Amino acid sequence: IVDPVAGRQVWSPILAIRDTDVVTPLTDRFRVPVVIENDAAATALAVTSRDGRLQEGLVAVLMIGHGVGMGLLSHGGPFPGTHGFSSEIGHVRRQPSGAQCRCGQRGCIEAYLADYALYRDARSIANLPIANHQQPSEEQMTVLVRRAEEGDGGLQRLFDEAGSSLSDAVRTVASVLAPHRIAIAGSGMRGYHLMKASFEAGLRDSLNPSYDPLSRIVIAEGGVDLIVEGMVQLALQRLDAELATGVPVREAG
């Protein structure tokens, strides 16, 4: 969780530090303006800029990969709010006393869907190398997906559970916000084809006659590149705003 207005990192399940000023030291060091935002929010900006269907009404963009996050946008722009437009949807609990999440809770959506959770559980049933710093590499996740594709029943069941967890996330978003569209993106989509059946089954089981989330889903391609693209957009927006208001942009030293 970040506060983009104050330029601070507020909380992260993978960092020991809390409430830390990130922007000021970087600005002082490089002598250029610096923007900070949650990776899911950056992904949301990139995804909506690529797809016209996501540029009207309220849109929720779920990002799955290292973790599970969500960015909210209204008519293609950041959803109004003082602390940015990201949400920690991954830390909504789906099963009390369930799988261990790295945030410290048990049973979070992320604990069944994020890369680290899938790989952790896969190692308990398959011969896979240890992940560095508890976070699997892209190569390790690619191997995991391939082995599930090749018919390893235990690994296939992990992806089935991940698909059910993803449907829980979408149902939660649909019930609380009823957005015009729900997009799903991120590096974790490399295994979406293995999750698709259980994901769609989970949504069909909870269809509301007045709101069908399955008909509003948009699957977006891209992983880390979406985060980079979204942050570039934020930086350019900052530059445009400063130029439009006549406030000079500080020169790089």
Percent of the chain clearing pLDDT 70 (strictly above): 94
pLDDT at residue 85 above 80?
no
Q: Indicate the range of 33-42, 44-53, 113-122, 202-211 predicted with least confidence.
A: 202-211
**Res 253: pLDDT:** 33
**Res 252: pLDDT:** 38
Q: How far apart are CA 1 and CA 214, in angstroms?
A: 28
In this structure, the strands spanning 77-78 and 181-185 are unpaired
3-state DSSP assignment of residue 225:
helix
Asked if residue 19 is part of any domain, the answer here is yes
The tokens describing 80, both together, are 């109004």
pLDDT at residue 239 above 80?
yes
Q: How many domains would you assign to the chain?
A: 1
CATH number at 196 reads 3.30.420.40
Asked if residue 251 is part of any domain, the answer here is no
Q: pLDDT confidence of 63, banded at 50, 70, 90?
A: very high
**Res 194: pLDDT:** 98
**Res 191: pLDDT:** 97
Q: What is the pLDDT of residues 206-232, one digit of tens each?
A: 767 788 888 999 999 999 999 999 999
**Res 168: pLDDT:** 96
Q: What is the mean pLDDT of the chain?
A: 90
**Res 53: pLDDT:** 93
CB 98 within 8 A of CB 110: no
Q: What is the pLDDT of residues 160-177, one digit of tens each?
A: 999 999 999 999 999 999
Asked if residue 250 is part of any domain, the answer here is no
Q: What is the average pLDDT across 245-253?
A: 53
Asked if residue 249 is part of any domain, the answer here is no
The one-letter code for the residue type at 237 is Q
Asked if residue 72 is part of any domain, the answer here is yes
Backbone phi, then psi, for 153, in 5-degree steps?
-60, -40
Please indicate whether residue 210 or residue 46 has the higher confidence score (pLDDT).
46
Alpha helices in the chain, H assignment, sequence order: 23-30, 39-50, 110-113, 115-123, 138-149, 153-177, 192-204, 224-244
The one-letter code for the residue type at 203 is L
Q: How far apart are CA 142 and CA 222, in angstroms?
A: 15
Asked if residue 225 is part of any domain, the answer here is yes
Residue written as token pair 């789906």? 94
The one-letter code for the residue type at 21 is D
Residue written as token pair 């290292």? 66
**Res 83: pLDDT:** 54
Smallest CA-to-CA distance from 78 within 113, 42, 52 is with 42
Q: pLDDT confidence of 77, banded at 50, 70, 90?
A: confident
pLDDT at residue 243 above 90?
no
Please indicate whether residue 193 or residue 13 has the higher confidence score (pLDDT).
193
Q: If you count them, how many residues does the chain have?
A: 253
Give the list of residues 6+ apart from residue 154 with CB closer than 8 angstroms, or none: 122, 125, 126
What 8-state DSSP symbol labels residue 46?
Answer: H
Asked if residue 101 is part of any domain, the answer here is yes
- Domain range for 145 is 2-244
Q: What is the average pLDDT across 52-67?
A: 94
**Res 65: pLDDT:** 95
CA-to-CA dists, residue 178 to 64, 68, 208, 233, angstroms: 20, 19, 11, 27
